[in-house]
Structure 1
């Protein structure tokens, strides 16, 4: 998916970011298509209902309401950015969210 050294030795990191992008409605169609193709493989590894995002959620023991919580945080961050005349790109938000909530 990417050759960024950020993901070296951390196979779930990029998938978690893609999960966040999916939750906020900012996942590219290209990424969505690729993730749909690997959905069955992810399901065989992590479980779930066959959808890639469900497998990722199960791998991290996320609650059902996680996508809504991510969307709420995205909306709050967009508002903070608007007030401060700063643009927060979706990918940067995804990285920040994952770093804050899923990395040790």
Structure 2
């Protein structure tokens, strides 16, 4: 069965995933540096200004407290994983979080 790239045809999804990873302090330094270097291009593409986080948040219509809310859900995820003795997987958290909260940009769940 062929697998589909999660981001194929969904450029904003990759940015939202990175924003969620950044909010939970799981975005690696290389990706962060790449996104910071892309800020001028993102600003031009979206006719916006600010950091890459501010530009993505603006495109998504996020309130200022969205990173705090994401961190709240992350802490609940960590607590649940600890209680159930499950492995913590930041990427799995991101995929589930985005699919549940932003189904209009997330790929169909299979």
Q: Is the 8 A contact 1:78 1:87 kept in 2?
A: no
Flag as ranges the 4+ runs of structure 1 deviating above 3 A: none
The alpha carbon displacement at 1:102 in A equals: 1.4
C-alpha distance in 1 between matches for 2:19 and 2:6: 17
Partner of 1:29: 29
Q: Is the 8 A contact 1:17 1:94 kept in 2?
A: yes
Name the count of aligned residue pairs: 100
Q: Give yes or no for the alignment of 1:103 onto 2:107.
A: no
TM-score of the two chains, using structure 2 as the length reference: 0.85
Partner of 1:77: 77
Partner of 2:55: 55
C-alpha distance in 1 between matches for 2:45 and 2:62: 16
Q: Which has the larger radius of gyration?
A: 2
Name structure 1 gaps, 5 residues minimum: none
C-alpha distance in 2 between matches for 1:76 and 1:48: 33
Name structure 2 gaps, 5 residues minimum: 105-110
TM-score of the two chains, using structure 1 as the length reference: 0.90
* Structure with the bigger percentage of helix: 1
C-alpha distance in 1 between matches for 2:95 and 2:101: 10
